[in-house]
Structure 1
Amino acid sequence: MRTVAVDAGLGVVLGAVAVVAVRAQVAFGHAAPWGREGAGPPWAGGPGPEWGQVTLGWGVWAGVALLVVAVAVRRVRPAVALVAAGAGAGAVLVGGGVVNPVVVVMGALVVFSAAIRMEPVRFLAWALPLVVGVGVLSRAGEPWWGLADGSLWAALAVAVGVAAPWAGAGVFVRARRQGRAREREAEVARHRYEERLRIAREVHDLVGHSLSVISMQAGVALHVVDRRPEQAAVALAAIRDSSRSALEELRRTLAVFRGEEGAALEPVAGLDRLEGVVEEMGRAGLAVTVERSGEAVVLPGAVDHALLRIAQEALTNVLRHAGAGAVARVEVAFEAGWVRLVVADTGAGPGAGWCEGAGIAGMRERARGVGGELAAGPGDGGGFVVRVRVPVEGGV
């Protein structure tokens, strides 16, 4: 509604100027021919226009009114605006007026706005007949409508030539807007894909780690349930604690992704929970040592969380693949502008021709997501090693 009000005000102003311009053109036409003594325009010392002899016909008033309406609705009803502008220009011509620059500007505004808001084919189907009609009406007072002397073709060329640049500019603006809209849609789609990938990675790491621990503890319970039931009870209690902890963390994670109120206020899991992961691994039968070096700095939440998940996934892989009796070591080192994470084990290591699985690929994506790099492979002395380096500000 505000758009129509603004455009209506613009149309009224342009319409008033157009009426004055048409009146001036008609008045000058009634003045004495220049070249006679005492004649000519006022700036040349002539008598000026004969305003008292000027009477505008109904066609001029109706035409200007239609042009005002066309300018007012050009952005909300472009097809209606085109018809009103064409009819208005035709009425001005038939009513005895002359298409002056102000009328041309009003029509050009309508054509430009319609070209922006209408499909090109639909715009051409509406605009071309109207422009041609205005060109034909401009020759209404000529014998055979200008066909006798060929002036009709010149009038049509002028009408199309005046409208074409404005139509072309509108089509160009429309194409630019559509291009920007497609870019925004592609950006939104990319963000949605990345968000889904992040959720999938988070759930994979959390559930995969928890299920690996639970599976290991369940195996221990089955192994000792008949001979040492007290140890089976310990393993079952560990399964209960691990599953409860996993469910709680999964609930918090999904609450953040769903945008639940208060969920974002909970701190993101980071390296401060590394000891808890180590204890859980210990209950599952994997001995893990943690070494920290360098002057610790406060890490960004995304970096802190990524390093914890990488360490968790690497230890889960050790639990799955390193074999019985393997020992793992986790090293967190703060260096100049970097934080380094190393997870190594003393297991048998992968055989020849090993290839990366989804777990390592996910860890690498997490490292890249925070600007870091990850390398994983067999250790020099056996086992398997995962190395991560992430840049941080404020490192010593």
Structure 2
Amino acid sequence: MTTGMPALTERTRAHGWRWLLDVALAVAVGWVMSIAWVAVATPDRMGMGMGRGRMRPEVELTWSPIVQLAVATVAVAVVLGRVLPRTGWVLGLVGVAGYLAAGGSPVAAVVAAIVLGVRLLVLSSVPVTTPGSAESDRHPSHLAPARLWPWLVALVPAYLANGLGDGHPWVSVFTTATMLVWTTLPLVAAAAFLARRGQRVRERALELEGVARAERLRLARDIHDVVGHSLSLISLQSGVALRVLDTDPTQARRSLEAIRQTSKEALAEVRTTLGVFRESDEAPLAPTPGLVAIERLVQQVASSGVSVTLTELPDPAEVPAVVQSVAHRVVQESVTNALRHAPGSPITAVAVVVGRDLRVRVADSGAPSLPIREGNGLTGMRERVRAIGGTMTIDAGPTGFAVMATLPLEPPLGVVPTGADT
């Protein structure tokens, strides 16, 4: 009991102003039941044939305590259903049974039962966590039509109270069956509608989860490329600085300046990449390094004493931004791999437009160790290239290692023109 009360209190506070709508709905249901009871009790006076063949003397028109209690019970059940929908449903049916036993209108009883049933369907949602999502990322799962039947069975004893004291059992059974039909049909239709809507919500949640997973993968690739390349270059430059610190202070100073510039640019690019997590609208959605950045990358590596040559580069105005970004990442990761696995070997890079494709090739003369096992870098490059409809091949042999990518200048529809695929 003590464990359930905090949860109930929390649910009560969470609904806020909706309590006013619940009270208004409860008053409306009670008013309908009251007016209908008066109409049934005085069919000739009201000009309505809503009675069940049981005329009441004038003295019986005074409000019966049973009617008052039944109407109040249904009204309380409507409000209580906000936090305890199943309890509200059972309590409401008790009120409906008392109302019918006191000679209330079957039509008003059906209306009250439909209101209680719809609230049971809408409010008795079960939190469901989609596969792979966080525990807090939960979505409502309403009562499906197949799970609704056990609750609808409770209508039978409630509606059978309609014939108490009439002396016409067959009429009572027919009326009860009619009431069950008119109550069940709209509730089953509402259950089917809510089940379908819940399914769409879950499908949408899974779709958004897939998009979020792809975005996390994109960010991981960007961070891997930026940090991996920068640390490799910093390690190379620091090694040069240590080697010539005593013999060539000028070169050592240039290497330290290169380390400072590389780390500064790496921090800026990481900050831009992680800017997608900021709530500010001014934060860019993704970094967009392009062909110009390839030239700067080659210059940074060359300043450390490594022989790296950029033989050809097309006009950036002829290449879409998303293609430029992928080309830059291919060159960046390829140069980083060459620095790691073939230190000191000359590196050549070329990017040229051939027809409707941009062809990128980065090669070094270091003999790779066979067989080649693709790590995160090569796998990330291949995923980037494939995301824009391109192809990538690797040529590894005794004369060196080369990465070749063919990138279409017209990427498929749906590829966001930013610094990475999604």
TM-score band w.r.t. shorter chain:
0.7 to 0.9
Q: Distance in 1 between matches of 2:330 and 2:156?
A: 71
Q: Distance in 1 between matches of 2:405 and 2:382?
A: 10
The residue that corresponds to 2:395 in the other structure is 378
The residue that corresponds to 1:190 in the other structure is 210
Indicate whether 1:289 and 2:310 are aligned.
yes
The residue that corresponds to 2:331 in the other structure is 311
The residue that corresponds to 1:270 in the other structure is 290
What is the CA-CA distance between 1:107 and the residue it aligns to? 1.2
C-alpha change, 1:390 and 1:125, in structure 2 (3 Å) is same
The residue that corresponds to 1:38 in the other structure is none
Q: Distance in 2 between matches of 1:248 and 1:96?
A: 79
The residue that corresponds to 1:137 in the other structure is 161
Unmatched 5+ residue regions in structure 1?
A: 32-40, 44-49
C-alpha change, 1:386 and 1:94, in structure 2 (3 Å) is same
| SS class of match (1:296) | helix
Q: Distance in 1 between matches of 2:173 and 2:123?
A: 30
Identity %: 31
Unmatched 5+ residue regions in structure 2?
A: 1-15, 50-54, 127-142, 412-422
Q: What do the CA deviations read for 1:104-131 (whole angstroms, capped 9, x no partner)? A: 122112112213322669x979956853
Indicate whether 1:91 and 2:98 are aligned.
yes
Q: What amino acid is aligned across from residue 313 of structure 1 in structure 2?
A: E
Q: What amino acid is aligned across from residue 365 of structure 1 in structure 2?
A: E
Deviates more, 1:341-350 or 1:107-116: 341-350
TM value normalised by structure 2: 0.69
C-alpha change, 1:228 and 1:65, in structure 2 (3 Å) is closer
The residue that corresponds to 1:368 in the other structure is 386
Q: What do the CA deviations read for 1:232-271 (whole angstroms, capped 9, x no partner)? A: 4443443343334333433443345445685439974332
Q: What do the CA deviations read for 1:57-104 (whole angstroms, capped 9, x no partner)? A: 4244554454455456655553454245323322322323342x2331
| SS class of match (2:334) | helix
Q: How many residues of Structure 1 are paired with residues of Structure 2 in the alignment? A: 369
Q: Distance in 1 between matches of 2:393 and 2:72?
A: 77
What is the CA-CA distance between 1:200 and the residue it aligns to? 1.9
C-alpha change, 1:103 and 1:136, in structure 2 (3 Å) is closer
What is the CA-CA distance between 1:361 and the residue it aligns to? 0.7
Q: What amino acid is aligned across from residue 270 of structure 2 in structure 1?
A: L
TM value normalised by structure 1: 0.73
Deviates more, 1:226-235 or 1:191-200: 226-235
Q: What amino acid is aligned across from residue 403 of structure 2 in structure 1?
A: V
Deviates more, 1:357-366 or 1:190-199: 190-199
The residue that corresponds to 1:359 in the other structure is 377
Question: 1:132 touches 1:159 (CA, 8 Å); kept in 2?
Answer: no
Pairwise mapping of residues 1-396 of structure 1 onto structure 2 (< 5 A)? 3-6=18-21, 8-9=23-24, 12-13=27-28, 15-28=30-43, 55=61, 57-58=63-64, 59-60=66-67, 62-68=69-75, 70-71=77-78, 74-75=81-82, 77-79=84-86, 81-99=88-106, 101-118=107-124, 127=151, 131-141=155-165, 163-225=183-245, 228=248, 230-259=250-279, 263-264=283-284, 268-284=288-304, 285-293=306-314, 296-297=317-318, 299-300=320-321, 302-322=322-342, 324-333=344-353, 335-336=355-356, 338=357, 340-348=358-366, 350=368, 353-369=371-387, 371-378=388-395, 383-392=401-410
What is the CA-CA distance between 1:171 and the residue it aligns to? 4.3
What is the CA-CA distance between 1:56 and the residue it aligns to? 5.9
C-alpha change, 1:345 and 1:97, in structure 2 (3 Å) is closer
| SS class of match (1:264) | coil
| SS class of match (1:385) | strand
C-alpha change, 1:325 and 1:150, in structure 2 (3 Å) is same
Q: What amino acid is aligned across from residue 138 of structure 1 in structure 2?
A: N
What is the CA-CA distance between 1:346 and the residue it aligns to? 4.8
What is the CA-CA distance between 1:277 and the residue it aligns to? 0.5
Q: Distance in 1 between matches of 2:32 and 2:48?
A: 20
C-alpha change, 1:182 and 1:231, in structure 2 (3 Å) is same
What is the CA-CA distance between 1:205 and the residue it aligns to? 0.6
